[in-house]
Amino acid sequence: MTYQEVLDNARSHCTKCKVCPECNGYACKGKVPGPGGKGDGKSFINSVQYLKNIDIMMDPIYDNTAGQDTSIELFGKTLSMPIMGAPCGGSNLNFGSDVSEYDFIKGQAFGAQAAGTIGFTPDGPIDEFFIHGIELTKQVGGMAIPTIKPWKNERIIHHIRLAEEAGAVAVCCDVDSAGLINLKLMGKPVDPKSPKDLEELIASTSLPFIIKGVITPKAVKLAADLGAYGVVISTHGGRIIADAPATASMIVECRKAVGNRLKIFVDGGIRNGGDVYKCLALGADAVLIGRPVCHASIGGGAEGVEMYLNKIQSELVDNMLITGCNTLSQITPDKIRNRNTY
């Protein structure tokens, strides 16, 4: 199976997503539920465009005896690459796919594991999304990160216990889901979390705790003060509000606000190894990728996801090779030129 065949296969299985050659937010504007960004799709499109307007500075004169090492230490484990699968649920609800929810999440989790990295698992209006993720976290020996919606704390803590029992390396709460229309439409609205709520959740577990769905330096600093292991700078792929800034545009300010006190991950519109490189040069520790991993899972199961992640890793290696980087820490701000005006 080639990656092109994986995409063609995904296209034949999806009725709500066109699986476009470039997954950029145009064809799916406003499709939430669905695969798109909210409203006119601007938040999603912004994130894709911002990354396009960053150049990578070639710098081919250096000693490359060591070669390129894309490995990274996270959650006390060594991952093969600074790239993880984002939590995504809704094979049928969001993609109109006939692949079962279980197989959809299985492809994401097993594919990430096969590529030597980690997939986050989803939560949603239908309880099975989370329960399947827990079952699959067990099956990949804990190398997955169950992500929990911002329900009432009592319910979240119950879900954290399930993640602990499954041996998960970390847990995550996507706090931005307080604005997610999918949950409201299905009669399961959730509220914003207060600092006190998050403090209680972080104290309730010894697992690294990740807060997903923040974009401001203020929120990232608060997450660090509360003892979070990391944050994901994320707008849920542009699905929460129509007018959020490009996620990558917030990395520099957020890093400045916290230094190295916590891990900064980012997602939104990251589509190739060059985009990963740019996010790292801006100051992110690692990235998450959502929709393209979903397409790979629908079209090729775990094999498709592994193939896709290996492809992105090899593109990252290509960029490191020609910019004088042997390790990820050498991907520094001077390696890029940012042509964005905001």
Ligand X SMILES: Cc1cc2nc3c(=O)[nH]c(=O)nc-3n(C[C@H](O)[C@H](O)[C@H](O)COP(=O)(O)O)c2cc1C
Residue 314 CB, nearest distance to ligand X (Å)? 19
Q: Does 290 participate in binding ligand X (rule CB under 6 A)? A: yes
DSSP 18-74: ---SS--SSTTTT-TTTTS-STTSHHHHHHHHHHHTEEE-----S--TT-----EEE
The residue number with the shortest CB distance to ligand X is 290
Tokens 């993720």 identify what position? 133
Nearer CB in complex with ligand X: 274/290: 290
Nearer CB in complex with ligand X: 19/325: 19
Return the DSSP state at 204: T
Look at residues 291, 303, 233 and name the one whose alpha carbon lies nearest to residue 262: 233
Q: Does 299 participate in binding ligand X (rule CB under 6 A)? A: no
Q: Which stretch binds ligand X (CB under 6 A): 4-12, 67-75, 214-222, 262-270?
A: 262-270
- Alpha-carbon span 179 to 86, nearest angstrom: 18
Judge whether 14 and 96 are in contact, CB under 8 Å: yes
Residue 62 CB, nearest distance to ligand X (Å)? 32
- Alpha-carbon span 155 to 312, nearest angstrom: 36
Distances (CA, A) of 291 to 12, 127, 296, 298, 341: 16, 21, 9, 11, 27
Q: Does 106 participate in binding ligand X (rule CB under 6 A)? A: no
Q: Does 146 participate in binding ligand X (rule CB under 6 A)? A: no
User: Which of 14, 29, 35, 140 contacts ligand X by CB under 6 A?
Assistant: 35
Q: Which stretch binds ligand X (CB under 6 A): 67-75, 104-112, 252-260, 264-272?
A: 264-272
Residue 164 CB, nearest distance to ligand X (Å)? 19
Judge whether 258 and 264 are in contact, CB under 8 Å: yes
Residue 47 CB, nearest distance to ligand X (Å)? 7
Residue 222 CB, nearest distance to ligand X (Å)? 19
Q: Does 237 participate in binding ligand X (rule CB under 6 A)? A: yes
